[in-house]
Amino acid sequence: MTDSKYFTTTKKGEIFELKAELNSDKKEKKKEAVKKVIASMTVGKDVSALFPDVVNCMQTDNLELKKLVYLYLMNYAKSQPDMAIMAVNTFVKDCEDPNPLIRALAVRTMGCIRVDKITEYLCEPLRKCLKDEDPYVRKTAAVCVAKLHDINAQLVEDQGFLDTLKDLISDSNPMVVANAVAALSEIAESHPNSNLLDLNPQTINKLLTALNECTEWGQIFILDCLANYTPRDDRESQSICERVTPRLSHANSAVVLSAVKVLMKFMEMLPKDLDYYGTLLKKLAPPLVTLLSAEPELQYVALRNINLIVQRRPEILKHEMKVFFVKYNDPIYVKLEKLDIMIRLASQANIAQVLAELKEYATEVDVDFVRKAVRAIGRCAIKVEQSAERCVSTLLDLIQTKVNYVVQEAIVVIKDIFRKYPNKYESVIATLCENLDSLDEPEARAAMIWIVGEYAERIDNADELLESFLEGFHDESTQVQLQLLTAIVKLFLKKPTETQELVQQVLSLATQDSDNPDLRDRGYIYWRLLSTDPVAAKEVVLAEKPLISEETDLIEPTLLEELICHIGTLASVYHKPPSAFVEGSHGVAHKRLPGSSGSGESVESPDTGSTAGVADAPPAVIPSQGDLLGDLLNLDLTPPATTGLPPPASTGLQMGAMDLLGGGLDSLLGGDLGGSPAMGVGFGAPPATMPSSFNAPVSGVLDDLFDLGGGVGMPSGPYSLPKTGWLPAIKAKGLEISGTFARRSGVIQMEMTLTNKAMSVMTDFAIQFNKNSFGLAPAGPLQVLTPLSPNQSIEVTLPLNTVGPVMKMEPLNNLQVAVKNNIDVFYFSCQYPIHMLFVEDGKMERQVFLATWKDISNDNESQFQIKDCHLSSDAASSKLQGSNIFTIAKRTVDGQDMLYQSMKLTNAIWVLAELRMQAGNSNYTISLKCRAPEVSQYVFQSYEAVLKN
């Protein structure tokens, strides 16, 4: 008879009857009653009222009844903690029962009762069970310690259970060892700094011995523990690999993946010229291939892990391409994953085979799969240069099929092939243009527009093609609108006389009729560029494009290292670190492969002897000057308290009445465009309606962008050098920093562009400077208010003050910087132009200037030549005043203008200058006098930078 009868009763007085049955003298009746209680509990009925009656049934020798009572107890102990204390005596008794199964059952249940009140009563029984003579009891007690630690960590530490657990690693029974390792690993994960699993060669030897004899899940615990160990040398690494290798032939796929994880990690320490290294690579392939003969769900997990392994060590599976060929009955998720791995394994040796296979896939019925297959052909062309021609002809064959979605995908990938191999396959453009009318997907339309704009000079009717897209401009997606705007501007710059109406039309549509701020801004920038400087417009819009890289979808190296350490876990399926999807995982330690150093990669010694000009100084990385690096590494990177700095004042400028396209286009077209009736809105006039933002004061960035500062009768602010690269992404795990220094309204600012070229989100930014010559320090925290997503850039302005610690640097204007984010701390050095330190009250009185000039010794005078400068003395004086270099007096002797100037640095050092310029001579002579003559060289560099820009 089945147990279903226990679930069928619906009597009214059920609880009352069950109470009577539970207190019956007959053992069988008692057992039946408990089963009914458990059945009611299972279907969600509240039977907590029977708690005392069920607990009374604990006093029995019958193992089945005891298990049922314990099950009830686990469920209701939390809601009835006071009642649960009644069961403590029975636990204590059961822990001394002669039957080891009962002892183990008692200790297992104790661990599952998560009630604070009774945990302290359970310490003694648990201590006895941890030292029990029966291994089954010991292994159960080991897991109980981990459960108890989760409820009350302090209690477990005070009672010394952790030390007992460590002793169990040396137990004679392999299952006890496995459970002890599992328990310690669990505890260590929630306390990453506790160093509980203090692994040493002796412990590792014990674990490896137990590995051969314990159950499959025990083996997984031990292998995962081994993966956290870092061997002392390659010999120990090889020895561990040799003892783990037999696990690769295990029937359980979890054991196989755990073994692969250990081997992948320890291989990092083996020299590549070692014979064993080659043998190990060969041994890793068969077990991975075997995993692909399992059911689809397991295949998918295996394929996600293989995807990581192939990115790290493609040589393992380079001869196994055929096993990744798609079968007709594979589920779509397996097909797509196999396709991805095929491309990663594609090489010159097997490309013919791969292409034939991909061409076959492109005729399948599954649309998603066909799209991915067509994209894969394009990726093969980009990856294996020798195959590019064959790939292009395959794509053309597919376009001839006229299957709509195949044609669209083919056009998207051909655009990438053009980017990778310019001026090689443009002969196919005519075929692409034939299919223009069938394109209805934004990505394909945008790709086609890009091709027409980029190769407009080779397409006779390019203007007609682009005009056909323009007819439904407002119905297009943003991606297509932006591409169309750029393509028509490219076309106009290549064929100005034929396309002036077209460019007028698109600029008008983008700026006047569009609500999209991105589109409007791009339209205004192009309009402004075309109207003021057509040559610059050509340089910007028709600039040479960088070649696209062969593998754009590779996982970022540091993330890949971490994921390799998580093979066989959920992280390896998601391709995300555990911290990205495990709640409360801030304590999860980031794992790294051995042999790969941390942030030390970023620290190199540059040539500190360089005295190149500020503008073209290469971004040097932190020099090793005595203990300077030590100072920088020990800096506290918590954000400093924000000081109440005044915000930089913006320069007011009314743009409403400006001629946005005045004059500049005339010079490009070589004639007067005027406002002919045929053109609707005259090119010389601004759009009829301007967004309100264009009538507002424009400051900072827009001044620079549109170069509105000059020629409108405005005093120019201190000149800022253009941004240069300070920290390349390759040295900072994907973080790229470029920047410059500016002085706005008396505040020195560090203006940076932070770009995330990694695959993971960056957060928690902070910055700190090392000691430097002028005490520069951040005046507030680095304000990065939102997480920086992959491929995103943000502009950050950091106000600086000069009250930091001072130490003379070489060169004098060198600044060593540490930037921290959630990934690591990175170091770089940059050089600031000295005129950023010239203060606003640096104008000396004439008499004081004269006296000071005489007072400073002639030994402290330096003379320099500024070559190829074509400014009048007044223009030079005005320009220099913008950078706080003040002219005290001017005199003319024999046709030579002499300007006497003063400037004052933030540390109160005065610099006096005499600037001599002869009419008709583009070379100026400058004499500098200063009580600290070492600054003269840098002051001269600033003069040169300001006057020449």
CB hemisphere CA count around 893 (13 angstroms) = 6
List the single range of 181-195, 347-361, 755-769, 917-931 with lowest mean pLDDT.
181-195
pLDDT at 203 over 60: yes
What is the predicted pLDDT for the residue at 663?
40
Give the CA diameter of the chain.
Answer: 130
pLDDT at 592 over 90: no
pLDDT at 302 over 60: yes
What band does 418 get if pLDDT is binned at 50, 70 and 90? confident
The answer to whether 136 and 103 are in contact (CB under 8 A) is no
Beta strands in 198-251 (DSSP E): none
What is the predicted pLDDT for the residue at 163?
85
Reported as a single tens digit per residue, the pLDDT across 855-910 is 888 888 899 988 888 888 888 898 898 899 999 998 888 778 889 999 999 888 99
What is the predicted pLDDT for the residue at 494?
87
The answer to whether 15 and 41 are in contact (CB under 8 A) is no
What is the predicted pLDDT for the residue at 424?
81
Burial readout 67-85 (b: 16 or more C-beta within 10 A, e: otherwise): ebbbbbbbbbbeebeebbe
Reported as a single tens digit per residue, the pLDDT across 476-533 is 889 999 999 999 999 898 888 888 888 888 898 888 888 889 999 999 999 888 888 8
At residue 664, φ and ψ (nearest 5 deg) are: -60, -40
The answer to whether 408 and 441 are in contact (CB under 8 A) is yes
Dump the DSSP string for 391-411. Answer: HHHHHHHHHHTT-HHHHHHHH
The residue with greater pLDDT, 107 or 3, is 107
What is the predicted pLDDT for the residue at 797?
92
pLDDT at 692 over 60: no
> Which range among 171-180, 459-468, 620-629 has the greatest average pLDDT?
171-180
| Strand (E) or helix (H) holding 916 | strand 910-918
What is the predicted pLDDT for the residue at 683?
42
Mean per-residue pLDDT for 274-302? Answer: 89
What band does 547 get if pLDDT is binned at 50, 70 and 90? confident
The rounded percent of the chain whose pLDDT value lies above 70 is 84
Mean per-residue pLDDT for 60-80? Answer: 80
Mean per-residue pLDDT for 666-678? Answer: 38
What is the predicted pLDDT for the residue at 256?
93
Dump the DSSP string for 679-745. Answer: GSS-TTSPPSS--GGGGS---THHHHHHT-STTTT-------PPPEEEE-GGGTTTEEEEEEEEEET
What is the predicted pLDDT for the residue at 676?
34
Please provide the average confidence, as pLDDT, over all residues in the chain.
79
pTM of the model: 0.59
Mean per-residue pLDDT for 130-147? Answer: 89
